[in-house]
Amino acid sequence: MADQIDDPEELPSTAGEFAEEYPEVWEQYSDLGEACSAAGPIDDETKRLVKLALSIGAQSEGAVHSHVRRGLDEDVDPEALKQVAVLSIPTLGFPQAMAAISWIEDLTDEGET
């Protein structure tokens, strides 16, 4: 699972600027993410889907885009990514789930007509 980003140029602008301005903090933050990922038996695809679900729950369009992009790079089925948003309907509500679906479809072919 490719969650550690070593080159700040690969990050969105604000995060990249933060990483350049505070490299020691960024390194520790990055190491924490890696340690959390390695802390249990969950397989990489499931971790990606869980992170997507957390991003949807946090209503973070940027994080949803990030985890969808990474999921697609890791060959996660786009339908599985979309199902995470569908599963959020009873917990988060229909409007938030529809927003999440639109954010997911921003990066998949499903949103194109």
Structure tokens at 46: 């499931």
Q: What is the mean pLDDT of residues 104-111?
A: 82
Structure tokens at 48: 């990606």
Span 7-44, pLDDT tens digits: 556 666 788 888 889 999 999 998 999 999 999 999 99
Which pLDDT value is given to residue 21?
Answer: 92
Which pLDDT value is given to residue 16?
Answer: 83
Query: How many helices and strands in the chain, by DSSP H and E?
Result: 7, 0
Span 42-89, pLDDT tens digits: 999 999 999 999 999 999 999 999 999 999 999 999 999 999 999 999
23-to-19, 51, 61, 101, 108 alpha-carbon distances in Å: 5, 24, 25, 34, 33
> Which residue bears the tokens 């948003």?
85
Which pLDDT value is given to residue 13?
Answer: 75
Q: With 60 as the cut, is the pLDDT of residue 112 above it?
A: no
**What's the whole-model pTM score?**
0.84
Which pLDDT value is given to residue 8?
Answer: 58
